[in-house]
Structure 1
């Protein structure tokens, strides 16, 4: 299996050199086999255009061919994180506060691993960073989820999120 942390370290300088921020590096299994998924964004817009993805894909592909960090055959996918994006970095939790989110933990907390609600932001708790979420389960309770226990997190597509991600119209 590929060492994703090592691959991330190889890819990040290339992404930064192209003027983008690296959002996620992940190996996923698809119908056609393993795929190395690289998500990046333009820090000014939070998105990437198709030609930007193409240019970045070529640069990453050249490095991967040279370094050969993945033993098995795989496909490379370079994309924008999209509107209902994964939240992978501490700054994502602060930036997207106020929006709906789904979070899965690596191990249960209070008897559950999945949480859905409104993202309230990032805090420091018990010596580490934690994400505060106002639950949608009818309790209205706020929970504090330690970042080091988050397995997956993504925004939920809503009208408010769509409005927040639309380019501003010039008058």
Structure 2
């Protein structure tokens, strides 16, 4: 997809997505046989419900048809929320991941401070400059806290936790009342 088409689609759809208090995370157009697939990824601090994606899909479809933004060729529209494995690239992504375990690939400056190129830690707080993280203890040792500046992070991705003991924590996927099956 050309930058021009991407920018046109973003300009067209961002106000519509924003009116629902959602963030337009990504727009991609990929060929699929004789058709194309237009994938619109949206997110919010509270997450995105399936019904919201369905309603937004109808609104986006109407807007695209009215503006003839996709041309005459057939396309399939997919409106979705980001998957759990999406990279954390924006400040809001880190803020939404407070309480979650994240694998960080560090920049040379971050490697120097951490003594390694990779760090797995739980995000505790996020501010404009970086985040406070808790590095899990190994072999019975207590977890340790540290400060991680955004400039020290080359890549970051949430780690999926299936057996987290602290299920009542934010982002842990459960509440304190949840019983183990």
TM-score by length of 1: 0.59
2:43 is aligned to: 40
How far did 1:147 drift? 6.1
Residue number in structure 2 paired with 1:134: 134
Note if contact 1:93-1:121 (Cα within 8 Å) is conserved in structure 2: no
Provide the secondary structure at the position in 1 that maps to 2:173: helix
Secondary structure at 2:174's aligned position in 1? helix
TM-fit CA distance, 1:53 = 1.1
Select between 6-15 and 144-153 the one with higher mean Cα deviation.
144-153
1:163 is displaced (CA, Å) by 0.8
- Match status 1:94 vs 2:105: no
- The Cα shift of 1:88 comes to 5.2
TM-score, length-normalised on structure 2? Answer: 0.56
Q: Residue 21 of structure 1 corresponds to which residue in structure 2? A: 22
Could you tell me which residue of structure 2 aligns to residue 63 of structure 1?
63
Q: Unpaired segments of 5 or more residues in structure 1?
A: 167-171
- Give 1:10 shift: 3.1
Gaps in structure 2 of 5+ consecutive residues: 177-181
What is the CA RMSD across the aligned residues, in angstroms? 4.3
CA distance in 1, matches of 2:9, 2:118: 28
Change (3 A) 1:104 1:30: farther
Q: Distance in 2 between matches of 1:83 and 1:40?
A: 12
Separation in structure 2 between the aligned mates of residue 96 and residue 5 of structure 1, nearest angstrom: 28
Identify, as 1 or 2, the structure richer in strand. 1
Secondary structure of 1:98's aligned partner: coil
Structure 1 CA distance, aligned partners of 2:64 and 2:151?
A: 30
Q: SS at 2:47's partner residue?
A: coil
